[in-house]
Amino acid sequence: MKKKLLSARAPLPKFRSDKAAAEYLETHSVAEVWDQLPAGKRAKLSAASKKLIRERYAQAKSPVSIRLVPEQIEAAKKIAATKSVGYQTQLRMWIAEGIRREAKRP
């Protein structure tokens, strides 16, 4: 049995623990009060976190053009869908796998 949510001034009850919050959210939806929730506090990142983010950004992927026949793209999409990943991600995984395999060859 679902309980009614509190008024707009307090759309969610106060929880004594993360476990209590998890139990509540398993049986309640915040969709109805999403717009009433207070804005979260902006996270203050440590210098180490900022450095890590900059390093990851610097390692961003570079775009590459590759011509594939439509059947290959469709096959990649179907396979990727069964694995719940995007087809471009699947293609990158196959390329990485092939590079690792070739790098091991004598």
Q: Provide, rounded to the nearest whole percent, the portion of the chain with pLDDT above 90.
A: 52
- Residue 20: inside a domain: yes
CA distance 104 to 101: 5
Query: What does the pLDDT look like over 44-88, one tens digit per residue?
Result: 999 999 999 888 888 878 889 999 999 999 999 999 999 999 999
- The Cβ-side half-sphere exposure at 86, using a 13 Å CA radius, reads 3
| Structural domain of 19 | 9-37
Could you tell me the two tokens for 81?
A: 């869908």
- Residue 33: inside a domain: yes
Could you tell me the two tokens for 45?
A: 């990142």
Residue type at 70 in one-letter notation: P
SS3 (DSSP) at 28:
coil
- Residue 2: inside a domain: no
Total domains present in the chain: 2
- Residue 86: inside a domain: yes
Average model confidence (pLDDT) across the chain: 86
